[in-house]
Every structure is written in C-alpha cells, then in structure tokens.
Amino acid sequence: MSLVPGMGIVRGMGLTLKRFFQPKATIRYPEVRADVAPKFRGRLQLLYDEWGTLKCETCFQCAQACPIECIDMGGIDTKGRFHVHWGPPETYGERREESAVRRSGRPVADAAFRRFDPVDTSALDEIMERHDYDPKALLAMLEETQAEYGYLPVGALKHISRVTGAWYAYIYGTASYYRHLRLEPPMIETVPAAGEAHVAIEQSYRSALDASLGYAVRGS
Amino acid sequence: MTTFLTTPREWPAILTGRVAALAADPSDLDTATRAGAFEGLRRAVRDLGRTGTIATVAASGLRGRGGAGFPTGEKWRAAATRPATERYVVANGYGADPAVRTDATLLATDPWGVVEGLAIAAFAVGATEAIIAVRADDAALVTLLEGAVLAAEEAGFLGDDVLGSGSRISMTVRPVQGAYMLGEETVLLKALAGRRGQPEQRPPYPAERGLFEKPTVVNNVQTLAAVPWIVREGGPAYAAIGAKASPGTILVQLRGPEGGGIAEVPLGTPLRELVRLTGGLGTRSLKALLVGGPTGGLLPADLIDTPYEYDALREVGAHVGSGSIVVADDRACVVDLARLLTKFSADEACGKTIPCRIGLRRLYEIGDRVATGRPKPTDMALMADLAHDVAASGLCEHERLATLPFTSGMRYFRSELDDHLLRSTCPAGVCHPIAVGAAATPGPG
Ligand SMILES: Cc1cc2nc3c(=O)[nH]c(=O)nc-3n(C[C@H](O)[C@H](O)[C@H](O)COP(=O)(O)O)c2cc1C
Ligand code: SF4
Ligand code: FES
C-alpha cells in the first residue's frame, strides 16, 4: 500500500511502458515454431486410425511410465479377466483406491475390486512353516493357501510377503499368472479338480479345431 | 488307454519297444528290467563314465524332440562343463499342445524309459537332482510315475548310491498346471521355482543358467526315452536310423478325416506316408497339412513329399513342434483355420513382450475381419507387416512361431485369401457372412 495517491497507477503504467520497448514475444506460427523444453509432452490425446478404431492398445506402457501418475487405466488382461490393477501392480496396487478418488472423485469402477481385508493368518502361518518360509516353494504355498481360503485374498499375499521377505509384486505376479489360482472368491463354491481351469480351455480348442476342419458339426 | 497305430514292420521301435511287454502292468519294474530297462544306465555308469556317455549321445546325433531339435549331446556337454556347485536335469513331460497326447502316452505305457534316460542324463552331467515335470490334471499318471521312481530307488537305480558307483541321484515328480506356456523350458523352470511363468531371454540357455540359476538340462521325455537305447546299442547304430541330419524316431500325433492316433515314425519319413497312416483321405481331396500344432504351418498338397524332419520342415515354413500332423481336406478353409490357431496362440501368450501380446491379437483380428467379410483395403499388407514384426521381435519361440499359420497361409494359399478379401467368397463355404461359393458378389460385367 502506498501513501501517495495515484502511485499504483503510475507504477502499472511504468511496467506497460517498459514492456512496450522490450522485444516482442510474438512468433509467426506456423512459419516459425517456438522452442519447446525437451521434457514437454503436450496434451494426452488418444488417436483414432483412418477407420475409426481407437489406436490405444491398453498396453499400460504410458501409465507405467508416467512420473506423476496422471494416467489411469482399466482393461482386460490376456486371459480375458477384468480384475487387473490399474497399471502394473507394483506401482498401483496399494494406492489404487485412494488415487481413484483423488483423481476422479469416484471410487474404483471395477466391480471385482475388493478392499485389502485382513485375513486370519493362522492357517497361512502353518502352510509357510511347512515350506520352511522359502520363496522357492511359492507356487506350492499359493496352491495350499487357495485350498485353505478358497481363493487368494490380498491380505494373505501381503502376509506371505511380510513373512517370507519376497516382494509383494513378485508374489502377485506368480499368483496372477497361473490359471488355476484365483484372486477373487468363486461364484459357486466348489473345489476344482487339479488342472481343471486349463482343461476346459484345451477342450474348447480341440472342438474348435475339429469344427474348423469339418470333422465335427460346425458351430455358429 | 491310447494304443499306437500299426506301422510298417521295418520301422524300428525304439521308444515303444517295451510297450507290448508292459501292457499288462506298466508299473512292473521286474518285467521292465527283463525287457532291458536300466541296462543303459548300468553301461553308462560302469563302462562309459561321464564323458563317454556324453560322447555316445553326441555321436548318435540325437536332437531334442521338444520341437526345436537342439542336439542333445551338445546341451549335456554345455551343462556338464560349466563350473557349478549344483546342477539339475528336468524331463519336460508337460505336453502343451491340447490336441497331442504323445508324451503322456509314452509315460503311461513305459515310464521306465524316461526314468532311466533322466538318470543317465543326471549321471552324465553330474546332477544330483532330477525332476520329472508332468501335468497335474493327469492324477493317474502322477501316481504311476511316483511309484516308478520309488521302485527304481529301492532297486538301487536311483538314490544315494546309484548302482554302487557312489553317485547320488534324487528324482522327484513335479505336477505343474495352469498355462500353455509351461511347455517352454524357461517357463517350466520358472514354475518349478515358484515364479511367474514368463520366458527368459536365451542365451543364457538353461544349460548355462537354469533352475535356481544353476546349469540345468531340460529335455523332452521322448529325447530322454531314446537315450537308454543309444547308450546300449551305441551312437552309430542310432545315427543310422532315420534322416541323416535328424536321426532316430519320434512319436507323432496324426489326425485325418478317416482316423488317426499316435505312431512312432523314423524322422525323414515323407509326409505322404504319415497321411497314409491316418487311413488316407477316403473320397475327399487333400487341401492342407497342418504340421507342428497350434503354431504350425499350413502346407499345400504339392508339398506332401516333404520329409518329416526338423530342417526340411523349417525350410517350407512349418516345424516339428508338438509332433502333431493334421490333415485338412476340402471341407476346411485356410483363413478360418489360421484364425482359430492364431486366436489360441494370442490367448495363451504370456504377455511379457508387447509385439507378442498385442501383435498376435491384432493378427487374429485381421484374420477375423477377412473371414467375416469386413476387411479393410490394407489388411493383407498389414497382416504381412505385422507377422514379420511379431516374429522378428520375439522373445520366446512361441512368438516367433505363432505367426506361421497366417504366413504359410499367405505363402501357399494366396488365391484363397484373395477370394475372401477381393471377392467376398469363401471357396470352402465355411466363412460367414461371406457368401458361399462363387455366386457371391455380382461382377462388374
Ligand atoms: C510355446 C512352447 C511350448 C512348448 N511345449 C513343450 C512341451 O509341451 N514339451 C516339450 O518337451 N517341449 C516343449 N517346448 C520346447 C521346450 O522349450 C524345450 O525346447 C524342450 O523341452 C527341450 O527339450 P529337447 O532338447 O529334448 O527338445 C515348447 C516350446 C515353446 C516355445
Ligand atoms: S496404453 Fe499403450 S497404446 Fe494406450 S496410450 Fe498408453 S502407451 Fe499408448
Ligand atoms: S508368449 Fe510370452 S512373450 Fe510371447
């Protein structure tokens, strides 16, 4: 605040006058292009090809690379399941719900998503004890955990991580890879026979092959 | 129980030689030893020694039956000469191709050949841990193998003091399940180590750095089952069988319009004779031979005299692969077939490399557009480009081979593809909603 009345406007006009004699910032775009900082990435825009198909492959590369985590992504994994974490589990798993609210104001849209409920770990401790807490036996531990709980609760995976010292991402990677392991409770409570998850897929391949060869009645 | 197809009498039965004797009870060790089981191991341990055994296998020219045809002797030597505190040998009995039962049938009809072959491999490379990896869904087979390993151990063929030589071989049966890719050797080793089943870059090959980072020999069960015979009869005797660069016999899974089954055939047998083994074509005419399973190549009828052997098949755009040979007659459409196979390969891709995960899916989608009459004008060029890029950027063999159905289709059945693309017709009358036969689109004139 100034004591002399009118001093503010004089200062303002002074700045205008100073700028007036400075070199102009206008560039003759598009003939001339401004220098852009090498880190500038522009606006994120998803492009369509000439037939109107979205070019984004949901490959998660950008979400994984984005340093400020401004890219979120939902998608279907190679096995046709929609329960993938947004982005790689290593980066997103733990903060998923919190980030979804922060960024979109809405909770996670994925219906299969469950909070990381703590589980009763006494059975789990016995299983790990049997395998000497050795991550080399992780697959067997996970199979037995699934037999115990019916599925692999995230709380159980975290407990295994804490106790064996194996990274959560490592355990999640193994758990989400094998078809017979599941991360959600099954719709119908049955104990699947060994190898069942894969056998059905193989059967459908065989019958599709027969149909394609004309050895069996063709489907639609 | 699957039986073997009858083959010409003069074809040698190296893998299936004991099957008849064991037919009543494959788990009977006494019958098996009377029929010659574990004589090879005895000879390896008592007469040949480590390097002698490896030299014998190398001299036989035996190549891996898991599909790639890598020389077995070389693989063993690499693992044996690598300095290490511990080495492993693994019998790959996973049998990934859903339409092929050769490896499982071999294990179920004569488990002893594989147990003995694996013991010889362990002895030769100096491994103390031997693992037989099989599918978890075949519970009866797992039990049979566990029994066989136990019996062999009690008889002194395995265990702490193999045939009084002081060598230790402890063998275990490990059931694995849950993915097609488990057949690939680096994936199988990951599963055995409790890790996510995605392939590793090779080299380093498992023989240098495998299970738990130790030198590991992974061999197909058929490769191992041939080893006792080789050690018994000598390398040159085996090298004299089959094709010159690919000696020996192999189990093939045949399927044709008139029938099929499993047969032991010498490598180098012309495809024509294998088609004859399926019972021929009846009244139908031959359209294509799918050689190599889901990632196999589609060969036209005029290549029917190609010898069934690693190098010759690679040259024409197919491969031994899972040992499957499927006869497609005039009822099949090449586009429809290639689309189905590519979809399977795309669904089963592990997702580690992006060209494989996304490229194969796009390849399937292009094929699907062509088959359903909605192709884009650039689709044929796009398909060729994409197939090339996927194969060229491959991390594992799956990715390099999975484009074969479409690339061989484009190579040999171009006119059929063009019928779909340019004239919206499917000559075989399979694809819909494309009009059936030539009566489809009204021509300009
Ligand atoms: C996708 C894929 C699936 C495979 N499946 C099998 C299989 O089921 N059984 C097998 O023995 N080898 C399979 N292989 C080959 C193995 O990677 C490996 O080459 C083989 O087990 C080595 O044994 P060999 O030297 O006796 O052939 C597969 C390879 C790939 C790329
Ligand atoms: S997900 Fe992959 S394809 Fe989609 S925008 Fe990101 S980087 Fe591009
Ligand atoms: S199957 Fe895993 S990269 Fe191709």
With helix as H, strand as E and coil as C, how does chain A read?
CCCCCCHHHHHHHHHHHHHHHCCCCCCCCCCCCCCCCCCCCCCCCCCECCCCCECCCCCCHHHHHCCCCCCCCCCCCCCCCCCCCCCCHHHHHHHHHHHHHHHHCCCCCCCCCCCCCCCCCHHHHHHHHHCCCCHHHHHHHHHHHHHHHCCCCHHHHHHHHHHHCCCHHHHHHHHHHCCCCCCCCCCCCCCCCCCHHHHHHHHHHHHHHHHHHCCCCCCC
Average pLDDT over residues A48-73: 69
The mean pLDDT value for A20-47 works out to 82
Q: What is the pLDDT of residue A65?
A: 67
Contact B313, B306 (CB under 8 A): yes
Q: How far apart are CA A120 and CA B67, in angstroms?
A: 47
DSSP H or E run through B129: strand B129-135
How confident is the model over B31-60, as a mean pLDDT?
Answer: 96
Q: What average pLDDT does range B72-87 have in this prediction?
A: 96
Residue B118 or A57, more confident? B118
Strands (E), B301-441: 307-308, 324-329, 425-426, 435-436
Backbone angles phi, psi at B414, to 5 degrees: -55, -40
CA B366 to chain centre: 28
DSSP H/E element including B219: strand B216-220
Is residue B333 within 8 A of residue B430, CB to CB? The reply is: yes
Alpha-carbon span B247 to B232, nearest angstrom: 16
Give residues 330 to 349 of B whose Cβ lies within 8 Å of A.
331-333, 336-337, 340, 344, 346-347, 349
Whether B350 sits inside 8 A of A194 (CB atoms) is no
Q: Record the tokens describing residue A210, joined without a space.
A: 């027969």
pLDDT of B401-418, one tens digit each?
A: 999 999 999 999 999 999
Tell whether the torsion through CA atoms of A150, A191, A197 and B140 is positive or negative. positive
Least Cα distance to B102 among B260, B246, B272 occurs for: B260
Please state the rounded mean pLDDT for residues B329-356.
92
pLDDT for position A24: 83
CB B256 within 8 A of CB B289: no
* Structure confidence at residue B28 as a pLDDT band (50, 70, 90): very high
- Torsions phi, psi for B243 (to 5 deg): -80, 155
pLDDT tens-digit readout, B302-335: 999 999 999 999 999 999 999 999 999 999 999 9
pLDDT tens digits for range A92-142: 445 556 656 655 666 665 555 555 677 899 999 999 999 999 999 999 999
Closest by alpha carbon to B326, among B256, B403, B278, B276?
Answer: B256
From the CA of A64, how many Å to the nearest CA of chain B?
Answer: 14
Nearest to A212 among B135, B194, B332 (CB): B332
**A6 — phi, psi (to 5°)?**
85, -5
Asked if residue B443 has pLDDT above 80, the reply is no
Q: Dihedral of CA B414/B420/B426/B432: which sign?
A: positive
Band of the pLDDT at A218, cuts 50, 70, 90?
A: low
- CB-CB under 8 Å, A51 with B350: no
Residue A26 has a pLDDT of 85
- Mean pLDDT value across residues A142-159: 91
**Tens of pLDDT along B293-305?**
999 999 999 999 9
Cα–Cα distance, A87 to A85 (Å, whole number) = 6
Mean pLDDT computed over B138-143: 95
Question: ipTM higher than 0.95?
Answer: no
Q: How many degrees, rounded to 5, is the angle at CA B72 between CA B69 and CA B75?
A: 110
Q: What six digits make up the tokens of B39?
A: 């004589």
Residue A75 has pLDDT above 70, yes or no: no
Q: Which has the higher per-residue pLDDT, B160 or A105?
A: B160
With a 6 Å cutoff on the Cβ, whether B220 touches ligand 1 is yes
Q: Which ligand is nearest to the CA of B183?
A: 1
Chain B residues with CB under 8 Å of A79 CB are: 347
For residue B43, the CA-to-ligand 2 centroid distance in Å is 60
Instruction: Return all residues near A38 (Cβ < 8 A) that are at least 6 apart.
Output: none
CA B53 to CA B76: how far, in whole Å?
10
| A80-102 pLDDT tens trace | 555 444 444 334 445 556 656 65
Is residue B367 within 8 Å of B403, Cβ to Cβ? Answer: no
Distance B248 CA to ligand 1 centre (A): 18
A22-31, A67-76, B239-248 — which one is most confidently predicted on average? B239-248
C-alpha span between B283 and B364 (Å, rounded): 32
Q: Which two tokens stand for residue A185?
A: 């409770």
Q: How far apart are CA B231 and CA B81, in angstroms?
A: 20
Considering chain B, what percentage of its residues have pLDDT values greater than 70?
A: 97
Q: At residue B295, what is the residue type?
A: T
- Tally Cβ neighbours within 10 Å of residue A114: 15
B213-238 per-position pLDDT tens digit: 999 999 999 999 999 999 999 999 99
Given a cut of 50, whether residue B68 has pLDDT beyond it is yes
Distance B301 CA to ligand 1 centre (A): 28
Give A176's contacts in chain B (Cβ within 8 Å): 196
Across residues A38-59, what is the average pLDDT?
74
Site to probe by mutation for ligand 3, drawn from B398, B400, B401 as the one with most ligand atoms within 8 Å of Cβ, is B398
